[in-house]
Structure 1
Amino acid sequence: MKQITSRDNPQFKQLKKLVEQPRARREQDRILLDGAHLIDAYVAEGGVPDLLIVADGACSEDAQHTLNANPAVEQLHLPPGLFAELSPVATPTGILALAVTPRLPVPAEPVFALLLEDIQDPGNLGAILRSAAAAGVDAVYLSAACADVWSAKVLRGGQGAHFLLPLLERADLCALATAFNGQVLATSPHGAALYTLDLRQPSAFLVGNEGKGLSPALMACASVKVSIPMPGRIESLNAAAATAICLFERVRQQAR
């Protein structure tokens, strides 16, 4: 067990870079997992953390269980004030893990794909990934302007989805949509009603930016525009909610 009490400590500075800088996460191929649930999900999929970071005197029961379940992993103890500088939440659970960024192989010919263009809200992106994992999506492709998929907020929103999904960042979405061996469905306010389409065939959904939607260039790569019927007096749905509805309509049709 190691103890750090100063924010000038080189190891603490390096950990803080991982929290704040996507470039540092890419260069080190490391992420910080916040909370017992995420750490346990990582371990359940075969991951072994490099380091467990513990808040002295502020470790929850779940966090203590995670510590006990990983006795061989080195521990770093921090005062609560320093720990709070690494945790993205207002009320930390008292445990973080430094871990290798998981990279699941992307299938050469997915039959159920999700292409995300410029999703910028980390909470939205995390929720979308969680729905994609739950729906059994084969691969998720993200444009360069999406929020950093390995940020703490996206990881927390994903609730372990990152460890189950092949993710391809900074992807050329137009090229992928053009090459996809199946129908490519662009979410749009003005398109064919989702529930009238046959989604039992290979399908790729295109989902665009929260405010602007899909770019004209990517929209042009789609086979069909698809909309979600909304009888209520609301103009649009949250991107994460709309994506979940589309994905699980395919799940429903596949189960028939």
Structure 2
Amino acid sequence: MKHITSRDNPLYKELKHLATSSQARRQAGRTLLDGVHLCQGYLQYRGAPPLCLVGEGAVAHPEVADILAQCGAPPTQVIVLPDALFGALSQVEHGIGLLFVVDTPQLELPAALTESAVLLDNLQDPGNLGSILRSAAAAGIKQVFCSAGTSFAWSPKVLRAGMGAHFVLTIHENVDLAALMRGASVPVLATSSHVEQTIYQLDLRQPVAWLFGHEGQGVADDLLALARHRVMIPHRGPMESLNVAACAAVCLFEQVRQLEN
């Protein structure tokens, strides 16, 4: 393990930039996984990270010690930081002092959309995005496609909300959703609060692509026009609509229910 004790260390400065700048993370093609749960998930599904950071006060923690033992050989570099320096990198209050620095996937789009998937149009809130990724993974979805206007899927906030879903999903970003939908061989279902057909009236015992939109504006009109079905979730109370993450969970698990019956 290597120790860094100075804020002026060039590597530490680079890490601080990654921790505080979304633009830096996108340019570097790297992001930070904060905390034991995410690091354990990464080890389980993706293997050893390029870089592991640990605060001095966490080195003896049993769960951290186990993770460090798994990262004790190349290709992982383990760096120990004073707790004050580590705290400037972490966005988790009162967390255990462990971070992975990992490469964000650079993926090619599939030739066509042939299996169940989630399409996200201009989703802005990191918490909503992470929650939808978590629901998608739990529902057995493998592919997620995010438009250029959607929040960066590998930001620390989205990663924390996703609770490890990233590591079992294939997440495509900056996707031309219209082009993807035109070439899809599975029906695309768009959610809208301005239609009468409900998700409970559809046969979901087949692969479908779910299209969810912006928190306030919903799915863009041009994408709605390309969807095979526009559906809504019926509700009895006075609220006009559901939060998009709640909407996605209801839709995905209605499909799970139908597939299980």
Q: TM-score, normalised by structure 2?
A: 0.91
Question: Which residue in the other structure is 2:29 paired with?
Answer: 29
Q: CA deviation at 1:220?
A: 1.1
Q: CA deviation at 1:103?
A: 5.2
Q: Quote how far apart the aligned CAs of 1:69 are.
A: 3.2
Distance 2:110 2:41 in 1: 22
Counterpart-to-counterpart distance in 2, 1:122 and 1:180: 27
**1:62 alignment partner in structure 2:** 63
Query: 2 CA distance for matches of 1:48 and 1:28?
Result: 19
In structure 1, give the amino acid aligned to 2:90: S
State the Cα deviation string for residues 42-69 of structure 1 (Å, max 9, x = none): 1111321112111111454422332233
Aligned to 2:101: 98
Identify if the C-alpha distance between structure 1 residues 176 and 198 changes in structure 2 by more than 3 Å, giving closer, same or farther: same
Residue 17 of structure 2: aligned partner: 17
Query: 1:124: which partner in 2?
Result: 128
1:180 counterpart letter in structure 2? A
Say whether the 8 Å CA contact 2:38–2:163 is kept in structure 1: yes
Q: How much has 1:41 moved relative to structure 2? A: 0.9
User: Offset of 1:182 from its aligned partner?
Assistant: 2.2
Q: In structure 1, how many angstroms separate the alpha carbons of the residues matched to 2:209 and 2:171?
A: 14
Q: Which residue of 2 aligns with 1:82?
A: 85
Residue identity in the other structure for 1:80: D
Distance 1:43 1:144 in 2: 29
Q: Secondary structure at the match of 1:186?
A: strand
AA matched with 2:15: L
C-alpha distance in 2, partners of 1:255/1:105? 32
**Contact residue 41 and residue 160 of structure 1 kept, 8 A:** yes
- The 3-state SS of whatever aligns with 2:13 is helix
Which consecutive unaligned segments of at least 5 residues does structure 1 have? Answer: none
The structure-2 alpha-carbon separation of the partners of 1:115 and 1:83, relative to structure 1 and needing over 3 Å to count, comes to same
Residue pair 2:114, 2:186 contacting (<8 A) in 1 also: no
After TM superposition, give the deviation of residue 78 of structure 1 in Å.
1.3
Following the alignment from structure 1 to structure 2, what is the Cα–Cα distance between the partners of residues 19 and 50? 16
Pair 19,29 (structure 1): closer, same or farther in 2 beyond 3 Å: same
**Does structure 2 retain, via aligned residues, the 8 Å contact 1:139–1:165?**
yes
The corresponding residue for 1:246 is 251
**Residue deviations 1:78-101 (CA, integer Å, cap 9, x gap):** 122211111111222110011222
Counterpart-to-counterpart distance in 1, 2:65 and 2:108? 33
**Aligned runs of 1:54-203 on 2, under 5 Å?**
54-59=54-59, 60-72=61-73, 73-102=76-105, 107-108=110-111, 109-191=113-195, 192-203=197-208
How many residues align? The count is 256
| Residues 153-195 of structure 1: per-residue CA shift (max 9 Å, x gap) | 1111111111111111000011111211122111111221111
Q: Which amino acid aligns with 1:77?
A: V
1:74-128 deviation per Cα after TM superposition (whole angstroms, max 9, x unaligned): 3211122211111111222110011222457755443201110111111111111
Report the CA distance between 1:199 and its aligned residue: 1.1
Change (3 A) 1:110 1:82: farther
Identity of aligned residues (%): 49
SS of structure 2 residue aligned to 1:92: coil
Bigger Cα displacement from structure 2, 18-27 vs 243-252: 18-27
Greater alpha carbon shift after TM alignment, 164-173 vs 84-93: 84-93
Query: Do the aligned partners of 1:56 and 1:79 also contact (CA within 8 Å) in 2?
Result: yes
Residues 193, 232 of structure 2: 8 Å contact kept: yes
Contact 2:188/2:208 (CA < 8 Å) preserved in 1? yes
> Gaps (5+ residues) in structure 2?
none
Q: Distance in 1 between matches of 2:69 and 2:239?
A: 49
Other-structure match for 1:212: 217
- Residues 110 and 139 in structure 1, CA contact (< 8 A), matched pair in contact too: no
Query: 1 CA distance for matches of 2:46 and 2:187?
Result: 34
Asked if the contact 1:106–1:166 (Cα under 8 Å) also holds between the matched residues in 2, the reply is: no
